[in-house]
C-alpha cells in the first residue's frame, strides 16, 4: 500500500466503507502506528524518533512521516532561531488515536504470546501506565510522581485517568529514575522486587518512596484469554 497526499479518499485501497478499513488505510502500514505512539507526549525531532524506534530505517521513517502528514495525522513544526529545528507532532486528530492505541494494547496483552519483557521506549511505558491503570488503586493517592528514563522526563499527576506530560520533575513528590523503561516494567509487569532492581539495575527512587511504590502498584496486565 502506497499512501499519497492525492489518494486519501475514503475507500481508496480497500474499497470498503467501514471506518476500520479507512483507519487501516491511514495507520495500517508497518511502523505507522508506532510513530504515532512516540508522538503522543509532544513533538519530537527525527533523530529522537529513530532512537525510540531502533528497528526502523531512516528511509522508512521518512516515508511514514510523509504518509501520516499527507493524511493529516502528523504535522511539521519549524522552530525558529536561535535554536532552529524541525519537529514532528500530532495534529488534533492524530492525538485522538490514544484510545485506539490503548485498546489495541489491552487486547494484545491478553494473548499468552505477548512478552512484556521485550524492549520498550519510555513513551511506551508511560502509555502502558495509562492503559493498564486500575483506577480504584489510584483514587486514594495525591500528588505527582516524576520519571526520568534515560534522560526523558515525565510527570504523572495522581488523579483521574492519570494525566502524564513531558516536563520538569524537580517539584514532584517522588522521582523514579532508570536508564531504560524495561527496568521499571520489570517491576510493574514482571514482579521483580524494587530492591533487586535498585541493587542490580541502577533504578533509584527519591522523595516519597511510599507514594512511588503505591503508584507502581496501580497497574495490572489483563487476564490471558487463551490461558
The model carries a pTM of 0.89
**pLDDT over threshold 70, residue 24:** yes
For the stretch 169-214, pLDDT in tens is 999 999 999 999 999 999 999 999 999 999 998 999 999 999 999 9
Grid coordinates representing 73 are 495525522
**pLDDT over threshold 80, residue 1:** no
Domains and CATH numbers, the chain: 5-96 (1.10.10.10), 117-216 (3.30.1050.10)
Which pLDDT does position 85 carry in this prediction? 86
Q: Cβ of 178: how many Cβ atoms within 10 Å? A: 24
For the stretch 63-118, pLDDT in tens is 999 999 999 999 999 888 777 788 999 999 999 999 999 999 999 999 999 998 89
Which pLDDT does position 3 carry in this prediction? 45
How does residue 12 score in pLDDT terms, banded at 50, 70 and 90? low
Which helix (H) or strand (E) segment holds residue 175: the answer is strand 174-178
Amino acid at each position: 500500500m502506497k499512501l499519497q497526499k492525492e489518494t486519501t479518499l475514503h475507500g481508496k485501497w480497500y474499497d470498503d466503507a467501514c471506518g476500520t478499513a479507512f483507519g487501516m488505510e491511514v495507520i495500517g502500514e508497518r511502523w505507522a502506528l508506532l510513530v504515532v505512539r512516540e508522538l503522543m507526549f509532544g513533538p519530537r525531532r527525527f533523530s529522537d524518533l529513530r532512537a525510540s524506534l531502533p528497528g526502523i530505517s531512516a528511509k522508512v521513517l521518512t516515508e511514514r512521516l510523509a504518509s501520516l502528514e499527507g493524511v493529516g495525522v502528523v504535522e511539521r513544526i519549524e522552530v525558529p532561531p536561535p535554536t532552529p529545528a524541525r519537529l514532528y507532532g500530532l495534529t488534533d486528530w492524530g492525538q485522538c488515536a490514544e484510545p485506539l492505541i490503548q485498546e489495541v494494547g489491552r487486547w494484545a496483552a491478553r494473548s499468552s504470546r505477548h512478552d512484556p519483557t521485550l524492549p520498550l521506549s519510555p513513551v511506551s511505558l508511560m502509555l502502558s501506565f495509562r492503559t493498564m491503570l486500575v483506577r480504584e488503586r489510584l483514587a486514594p493517592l495525591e500528588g505527582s510522581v516524576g520519571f526520568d528514563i534515560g534522560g526523558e522526563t515525565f510527570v504523572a499527576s495522581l488523579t483521574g485517568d492519570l494525566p502524564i506530560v513531558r516536563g520538569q520533575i524537580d517539584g514532584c513528590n517522588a522521582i523514579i529514575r532508570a536508564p531504560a523503561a524495561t527496568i521499571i516494567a520489570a517491576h510493574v509487569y514482571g514482579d521483580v522486587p524494587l530492591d533487586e532492581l535498585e541493587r542490580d539495575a541502577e533504578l533509584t527512587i527519591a522523595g516519597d518512596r511510599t507514594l512511588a511504590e503505591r503508584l507502581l502498584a496501580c497497574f495490572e496486565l489483563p487476564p490471558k484469554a487463551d490461558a
